[in-house]
C-alpha cells in the first residue's frame, strides 16, 4: 500500500526521494532503515467521526519523523488494507505518481516502486484501527473481533423491534 506524500512541500522528504531515485537496489537495501512498524494513534469523535494518525520514523540514511492524519470515513478502504498482515507500506512521491498517471502505453510504464521509500510491513492488525472503522460504520477486514459497529448495532435493533425480541 502506498501513501502518496507531497515531495514539493517537504524539502527533507524530497531529499530522501532524490536519494532513493539515484540509489541502486543494493545501496537502498543496505542503507534504508526505519524504526520498526509505523506508529498508529486513533481519535474517535462524535457522530461517527474518527481520525487516524500514522507515524513513520526514518533512522537512515537521514533521520526523519513524519506524521500523517487520515479522516477514517474518507479512507476506509486504505485503512482496511493496513489491517492485513504482510501488507507492505510505502511512501510514494506525489510528483512520480502524477507523472505515472499522465503516461500512456503499457502497464510497465506506470511502475514507480524504484522511487518509493519503504515505511514498514503490517505485522498484525491494529485493534484501534478496527475500532475506528467500526466507529464510522465501515466493514472490518482484519482477524481481530471488535464489537459490532454502529451500523450493525442499528440493524440488529431494527430486527429486534421495540420489544427487544428478534
pLDDT in tens, 156-166: 566 655 544 44
The pTM for the full model equals 0.71
133 within 8 A of 76, measured Cβ to Cβ: yes
Sign of the Cα torsion 26, 28, 29, 31 reads positive
58 within 8 A of 20, measured Cβ to Cβ: no
What grid cell was written down for 51?
481520525
Spatial separation of the C-alpha atoms in residues 104 and 40, rounded to whole Å:
37
Percent of the chain exceeding pLDDT 70 equals 78
Number of Cβ within a 10 Å radius of residue 28: 16
pLDDT per position as a tens digit, 57-115:
999 999 999 998 888 888 888 888 888 888 888 899 988 888 777 776 666 656 678 88
* Bond into 61 cis (ω within 30): yes
Average pLDDT, the chain: 80
Amino acid at each position: 500500500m502506498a501513501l502518496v506524500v507531497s515531495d514539493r512541500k517537504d524539502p527533507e522528504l524530497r531529499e530522501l526521494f532524490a536519494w532513493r531515485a539515484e540509489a541502486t537496489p543494493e545501496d537502498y537495501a543496505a542503507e534504508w532503515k526505519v524504526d520498526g512498524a509505523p506508529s498508529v494513534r486513533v481519535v474517535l469523535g462524535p457522530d461517527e467521526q474518527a481520525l487516524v494518525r500514522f507515524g513513520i520514523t526514518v533512522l537512515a540514511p537521514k533521520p526523519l519523523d513524519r506524521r500523517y492524519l487520515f479522516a477514517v470515513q474518507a479512507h476506509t478502504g486504505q485503512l482496511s488494507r493496513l489491517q492485513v498482515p504482510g501488507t507492505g507500506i510505502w511512501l510514494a512521491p506525489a510528483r512520480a505518481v502524477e507523472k505515472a498517471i499522465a503516461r500512456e502505453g503499457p502497464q510497465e510504464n506506470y511502475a514507480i516502486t524504484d522511487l518509493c521509500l519503504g515505511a514498514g510491513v503490517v505485522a498484525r492488525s491494529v485493534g484501534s484501527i478496527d475500532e475506528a472503522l467500526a466507529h464510522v460504520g465501515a466493514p472490518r477486514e482484519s482477524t481481530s473481533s471488535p464489537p459490532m459497529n454502529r451500523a450493525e448495532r442499528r440493524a440488529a435493533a431494527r430486527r429486534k423491534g421495540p420489544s427487544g425480541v428478534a
